[in-house]
Amino acid sequence: MPRSNKEAPTLPIDDVSPFMEAYRTLKANIEFASRRKPIRSVAIASATPGEGKSTTALYLASAYARAGQTVVLIDGDIRKPTLHQVIDRRRSPGLSDYLLDPGMMPSYVLKDTFIGAAFISAGRSVPNPSDLLASERMTELIALLKQAYDMVIVDTPPILAAIDAKILAAKCDGVLLVLESGKAREKAVLKAKEELLLANANLLGAVLNKTSRKSNPYYYEGYGK
Ligand SMILES: Nc1ncnc2c1ncn2[C@@H]1O[C@H](COP(=O)(O)OP(=O)(O)O)[C@@H](O)[C@H]1O
Ligand SMILES: [Mg+2]
């Protein structure tokens, strides 16, 4: 339920916009990839900042919720989190707090939002986000959430900026690589893809974001085997 409309994302969240349609298509492509191996947790990554990871994570989560599936959205970008601002939540308590405090229950950090998904904000700023994300406790949290939700979606910091995205991608069943149309440089994209594969992540495909085609603002290219 919306707490206040003024904080709602500037991009349209409604069932009829081509924008949401594009996310339904993305969801369908993930389901297609699930035929090879069940995909119940997905990391959303990109080579560089500003390509649309957080936006993709948010709207993809909404597409699952709108399809009647239960979904939890985790802000795994502990370095520069934005999701809590977009949906008008507090940054802390959240993921880093949970990973630091063995006494904290994950249910404590779950809150329903107007996007229809449960949300775990990034948590307080810490000097060592990669160590926290690499911990066994993070692996266990994803496993726990997979038991409780149909889908777990994890936002991440840029691949070329920190090791965090690779750590999270490897802990999830799959990873999507978001590319900003017209801006993403081939060298950076190839490097990001290589890094994900080296980290043993399951690269599901690329999402071309911010295309000018009105009828299809998102374009999905799968790395089908
Ligand atoms: N498809 C899109 N169309 C228009 N604006 C977009 C789109 N995707 C992202 N944006 C905007 O671009 C900016 C960066 O997006 P964001 O999702 O925060 O990127 P990242 O998480 O990769 O840094 C935000 O202001 C967001 O609202
Ligand atoms: Mg972001």
Lowest mean pLDDT among 35-44, 110-119, 196-205: 110-119
11 is a domain residue = no
User: Could you tell me if the CB of 158 is within 6 A of ligand 1?
Assistant: no
pLDDT at 222: 63
1 is a domain residue = no
57 is a domain residue = yes
- Whether the pLDDT of residue 164 is over 50: the answer is yes
Q: What is the CATH number of the domain that holds 43?
A: 3.40.50.300
Please tell me the residue having the least CA distance from ligand 1 atom 17. 52
- Whether the pLDDT of residue 124 is over 70: the answer is yes
pLDDT at 10: 53
Tell me how far the alpha carbon of residue 54 lies from the centroid of ligand 1, in angstroms: 7
Percent of the chain scoring above 90 in pLDDT: 65
Q: How many structural domains is the chain composed of?
A: 1
158 is a domain residue = yes
Tell me how far the alpha carbon of residue 75 lies from the centroid of ligand 2, in angstroms: 9
- Whether the pLDDT of residue 50 is over 80: the answer is yes
Q: Which ligand is nearest to the CA of 183?
A: 1
- Whether the pLDDT of residue 8 is over 60: the answer is no
For residue 56, the ligand 1 atom closest to its alpha carbon is 17
Q: Which tokens belong to 195? A: 């890094």
pLDDT at 36: 84
Q: Which ligand is nearest to the CA of 179?
A: 1
User: Could you tell me if the CB of 49 is within 6 A of ligand 1?
Assistant: yes
- Whether the pLDDT of residue 163 is over 60: the answer is yes
pLDDT at 219: 60
83 is a domain residue = yes
Please tell me the residue having the least CA distance from ligand 1 atom 16. 52
Instruction: Answer with the residue of higher pLDDT: 214 or 4.
Output: 214
**Do residues 5 and 47 make contact, with C-beta atoms less than 8 angstroms apart?**
no
10 is a domain residue = no
pLDDT at 102: 73
Tell me how far the alpha carbon of residue 157 lies from the centroid of ligand 2, in angstroms: 6
8 is a domain residue = no
pLDDT at 5: 39
Per residue in 174-184, pLDDT (tens digit) is: 999 999 988 77
Instruction: Answer with the residue of higher pLDDT: 220 or 5.
Output: 220
Q: Whole domain around residue 147: which residue ranges?
A: 19-222
Average pLDDT over residues 152-166: 97
Q: Which of 19, 55, 82 to mutate to test the pocket of ligand 1 (most atoms within 8 A of CB)?
A: 55
144 is a domain residue = yes
What does the DSSP assignment read for the chain? --S-GGGS-SS--STTSHHHHHHHHHHHHHHHHTTTS---EEEEE-SSTTSSHHHHHHHHHHHHHHTT--EEEEE---SS--HHHHTT--S-SSHHHHHH-TT--GGGG-EE-TTSSEEE---S--S-HHHHHHSHHHHHHHHHHHHH-SEEEEE---TTT-SHHHHHHHHSSEEEEEEETTTS-HHHHHHHHHHHHHTT--EEEEEEES-S-TT-S-EEEE---
